[in-house]
Amino acid sequence: MKNLMILVGAVLALAASPGVVSAQATRTWVSGVGDDVNPCSRTAPCKTFAGAISKTAAGGEINVLDPGGFGTVTITKSITIGTDPAMGGILNAASNGVIVNAAATDVVTLRGLVISAPAGASTGLNGVRILNAATVNIENSYIYGNRALAPNGNGIVVQNTSGTVRLNVTDTLVSENGSASTDGGGIVVIPTGTGGAIVNLERVIAIDNSRGVRLDASGTSGSVKTTITNSNISSNTLAGIHNVSNGSVASTYISDTISANNSGGLNSIGAGSVVTINRSSFFGNNTGLQVVSGGLIQSYSNNSVNGNSVDGAPTSTITPK
């Protein structure tokens, strides 16, 4: 009996020691009335995304039980956060809403989130800041109010220094990000070093930002390759779509998209910047199409460029087959 009591005591001491880590769940839960001391199960949810992520296995999923604000979070592994329809909120006053700094093989999905700085505060740094990952999917979300000065002030920003990040944004609204004096904006892709990006934007609304979408390969030896389809990029202070390079590949294909009431509808700047437009409209801008320093705009004959203060013109026309 004495030996049994010693064994039991040793087991209990081991279980209580900080070096023992309980198994992580593949699915966890957060709730507005949760508590981060909980195991983050459905019946005992956590309070914040940061509290839940430490209890969620790589490749797992954090679900939202009810509407609430669940705090900022840094992601270092493959994970899915959120639910559909949108119920998860992140208030990022003077901070980044979500930082993705995962392995080059990791896939991160953010779904059904509202990421915002306080109304009128203008202190949000970045809604989603992507430093490293294989793929980041952002779905059915609303990201707004990041008005901090450069190099911040972005709704979604890709800033990897190596490797190629795939960014897929669907059914998402980005608004009120950046200011007229910064390079910020709704969606900004600016890899450096040897970093590159492959970007797919579908059914994206980018309105009332400094720039709507900025795709910039001028600071990298890598490439930025983008498709924009079925989207509305309008009422931005500077350019609606800003495609930039200084020799590296910055290629963008735009189809079935509206760019309206911006300072510039579409800018293609620098050697290596090639934009192809198909079944898209550019109207009500100060300048519809602008080509600078060797940039190219290839236009199918089915686009509409009219009603701008200066319409501008593509550098070449493609006849649909």
pLDDT tens-digit map of 245-260? 999 999 999 999 999 9
Query: Residues 163, 271: one domain?
Result: yes
DSSP summary character for residue 161? S
Quickly state the pLDDT bin for 23 (edges 50, 70, 90).
Answer: confident
Query: Residues 58, 78: one domain?
Result: no
Per-residue pLDDT tens digits for 203-233: 999 999 999 999 999 999 999 999 999 999 9
Assess if residue 204 is contained within a domain. yes
Assess if residue 12 is contained within a domain. no
Calculate Rg over the CA atoms of the chain: 23
pLDDT given for residue 122 in this prediction: 61
Query: Residues 138, 50: one domain?
Result: no
Query: Residues 111, 32: one domain?
Result: no
Assess if residue 274 is contained within a domain. yes
Query: Residues 141, 201: one domain?
Result: yes
pLDDT given for residue 94 in this prediction: 84
Per-residue pLDDT tens digits for 29-70: 999 999 999 999 999 999 999 999 999 999 999 999 998 889
Per-residue pLDDT tens digits for 1-21: 444 444 444 444 434 444 334
Assess if residue 6 is contained within a domain. no
Assess if residue 224 is contained within a domain. yes
The closest of 137, 127, 115, 267 to 198, measured between CA atoms, is 137
Query: Residues 30, 129: one domain?
Result: no
Query: Residues 150, 54: one domain?
Result: no
Per-residue pLDDT tens digits for 264-287: 999 999 999 999 999 999 999 999
Q: Which domain holds residue 102?
A: 71-318
Query: Residues 308, 211: one domain?
Result: yes
Contact 246, 271 (CB under 8 A): yes
Residues 6+ apart with CB under 8 A from 24: 55, 56, 57, 60
The closest of 270, 277, 273, 272 to 302, measured between CA atoms, is 277
Query: Residues 162, 53: one domain?
Result: no
- Quote the number of domains for the chain: 2
Distance CA 220, CA 222 (A): 5
Distance CA 224, CA 253 (A): 11
Assess if residue 16 is contained within a domain. no
Q: What does pTM read for this prediction?
A: 0.90
Distance CA 204, CA 140 (A): 9
**Mean pLDDT, all residues of the chain:** 91
* Tokens 């309105």, residue located: 207
